[in-house]
Amino acid sequence: MSIQLEHMPERKRNLAAAAVSYMDNMYDKEMKLLRDSEDLSRHNTRGSGHYALGLLLRGEPGDTELACSVLNKLLDMQYDAPEEIYHGTFKSAPQDADPPRGNYPWKRLGNGHAYFLAETFEQIGAKLADSSSGELDIEADLGREDGREAAGAKAGAASRSAASLLQARFAAAVNAVLPPVWQSYDPNWREFISCIFAVIFAEFEHKLPSELVARMDGAMVRSVGASIDRRLSDAIPMNSNIELMHIFMASFYGDRYGNASWTEHARREADSLLLDYVEFGAFAEFNSSTYYGVDLTVLGLWRTYGRDRRLQQIGSELEEGLWRNIADFYNPELEELSGPFSRGYEMAMTEHSSLGVFIYLLLGDRYKHLTRINCESEHDVMIALAGVQAPESVRSRLTAHSENRLVVQPYRELCERNAPGDRRHVCTVTAWIESKLMIGGIAGSRNRSGQLHPATLQWRSPSGDKYSLRLLRRRSGGNWGVHVKGVSFEAVAEERKLAVAVEAAAENLEFFWELEGKSAGESEFESGCWTLPGLTLTVAAEAPAPVIRRHGERVEVVYATGPSVWHSALKFAFELHLHS
């Protein structure tokens, strides 16, 4: 007899039922997949797997049949291409074009080459564009020398446009031959979907037709083998959350299929991960509410569905340590993790994270508001099944602020796009935490990821509203989430003080402080003093005057780079002193 939703403990039942109801509303009957919550014109294969799991758990009339339909559609989305780097993964959406085949002997290339190739061709494209632009700029120069300023300006603009078009065409030609990781395929979908299938096998296999079980088993043989190939080649390095999933799936399916080499691989990887963790008591994806939510989910799978006692022991040690990390940086008054964040999206924990779900399961109905629907809510069914386990000593630290504190924590980051030998730098996180104020800084990071949040502030105003301030960077006119080489931050938090030093070797960048919160647009930014809702900052900045961009309840204080502002190699610094 399998587990049934109606017989689950109340909190788990409420959580799973709300998640399935949400996914009911996102389901597209014609496509037999979930729509993507961030783009309704697309569909979400990973989310569809979670929906199938939720339907099997709910078990109402028609749910099992619908789940089978979704699973068969999902299986149609797997790549069966044994010689390709994307073998065994799944399309992120059926709207995605198939990656190119037959041009990429990836197993014979070195560690990290998936990123190296992409960046090499990007640099070639830029050089090609520069040379084209240089030739076309001659016309603009001649126009200016002849006094034809308007014609010269027009020709200069045309040269830049032509160069950009040439660079775009070159990039498109490369991507038509070599599959760009994250653009033409997502390697992590192997791990995510394999974990979903493992729970389905463990809880609901008896509900499924034998033909569907056979299809799922065939898919898992492809996924696990390809995931191990990826890990051993290190062609695309694995971040902490993917590494945890990889170990679980290799162990689970090694046991299911009697594959001793997979089982032994999982044990070696688990021992290595534990050794890496205990160096500083921290994961490489440190202090990230998004990825901590995934980590806790997968460690719950190790505990609940693991079939190897050694892995269960290691998982328990990691799970307990992770909860202690969370308690160190969590503020019960603000109900947020203090920054800084090695990887992050939104500042609010309830926006792109399942962490609030775990706090609700751990502490009770008083925290149900932390389970509000967000883009991670599809995972809630799996979380309800895996459950939560935390040391008793952690619970009290999650319910009440005991004392103001300075937290200092080293960790060894993973710079996945760096060359081998230059990926694992030791960083130091500092955080000052008061009941209604938190400051965070990272020093030592060389991670080029746009998800790095090296300097952060969060506070609650006397009126009770929450605010956040974070330092980000982006290419001019671009998005802050894009990876950028040659940028480093050194940020240190102290009591009511944040010091930040920035170095950049790239031109045409914008560094900006982003303020968010109610009436943030009414803030004042005078030289040396920023008056924000509920907080005044004395600011000493070794940088040119910023541009203030107001977007309703979000404000950007922007410092732009470029030949007309700074030299291409720039340094600048901030000191922020806080006054209530």
Which class in CATH covers the domain with range 5-104+182-397?
mainly alpha
- Whether 66 shows a pLDDT value over 70: the answer reads yes
In this predicted structure, what is the pLDDT of residue 132?
60
Amino acid at 229: D
Integer Cα distance of 10 and 6 in angstroms: 9
Residue position matching structure tokens 């006397």: 462
> pLDDT-based confidence at 144, cuts 50/70/90?
very low
The pLDDT tens digits of the residues spanning 75-118 come to 999 999 999 999 999 999 999 999 999 888 888 877 777 777 77
The pLDDT tens digits of the residues spanning 405-416 come to 999 999 999 998
The pLDDT tens digits of the residues spanning 320-334 come to 999 999 999 999 999
- Average pLDDT of the residues in 284-311: 96
Nearest to 48 by CA among 17, 18, 69: 69
* 3 state DSSP class of 520: helix
Buried b vs exposed e over 163-172: b needs ≥16 C-beta within 10 Å?
A: beebbeebbe
The pLDDT tens digits of the residues spanning 491-505 come to 999 999 999 999 887
In DSSP notation, 551-579 reads ETTEEEEEEE-STTTS-SSEEEEEEEEEE
The pLDDT tens digits of the residues spanning 208-232 come to 999 999 999 999 999 999 999 999 9
Question: What are 499's strand-pairing partners?
Answer: 492, 575
DSSP letter at 576 equals E
Integer Cα distance of 262 and 252 in angstroms: 9
- Whether 151 shows a pLDDT value over 90: the answer reads no
In this predicted structure, what is the pLDDT of residue 139?
47
Integer Cα distance of 60 and 76 in angstroms: 25
Q: What value does the mean pLDDT of the chain take?
A: 91
The helix or strand, by DSSP H or E, that contains position 284, with its residue range, turns out to be none
In this predicted structure, what is the pLDDT of residue 101?
92
Residue 98: both structure tokens together: 């198939």
Residue 362: both structure tokens together: 């751990």
In this predicted structure, what is the pLDDT of residue 131?
67
Integer Cα distance of 50 and 54 in angstroms: 6
Integer Cα distance of 37 and 25 in angstroms: 10
Residue 434: both structure tokens together: 């008061």
Better pLDDT: 436 or 167: 436
- Whether 423 shows a pLDDT value over 70: the answer reads yes
Residue 544 in contact with residue 566, Cβ under 8 Å?
yes
> pLDDT-based confidence at 154, cuts 50/70/90?
low
> pLDDT-based confidence at 143, cuts 50/70/90?
very low
DSSP letter at 235 equals S
Percent of the chain with pLDDT over 90: 74
Integer Cα distance of 192 and 382 in angstroms: 11
- Average pLDDT of the residues in 304-315: 96
Percent of the chain with pLDDT over 70: 92
Residue 35 in contact with residue 26, Cβ under 8 Å?
yes
Q: What are phi and psi of 554, to 5 degrees?
A: -135, 135
- Whether 560 shows a pLDDT value over 90: the answer reads no
Better pLDDT: 420 or 154: 420
Integer Cα distance of 559 and 546 in angstroms: 5
Helix, strand and coil in the chain, % to nearest 5: 45, 20, 35
DSSP letter at 367 equals G
pTM of the complete model: 0.92
Integer Cα distance of 155 and 135 in angstroms: 11
Contacts of residue 243, Cβ cutoff 8 Å, sequence gap at least 6: 269, 273
Residue 339: both structure tokens together: 């920054």
Residue 47 in contact with residue 59, Cβ under 8 Å?
no
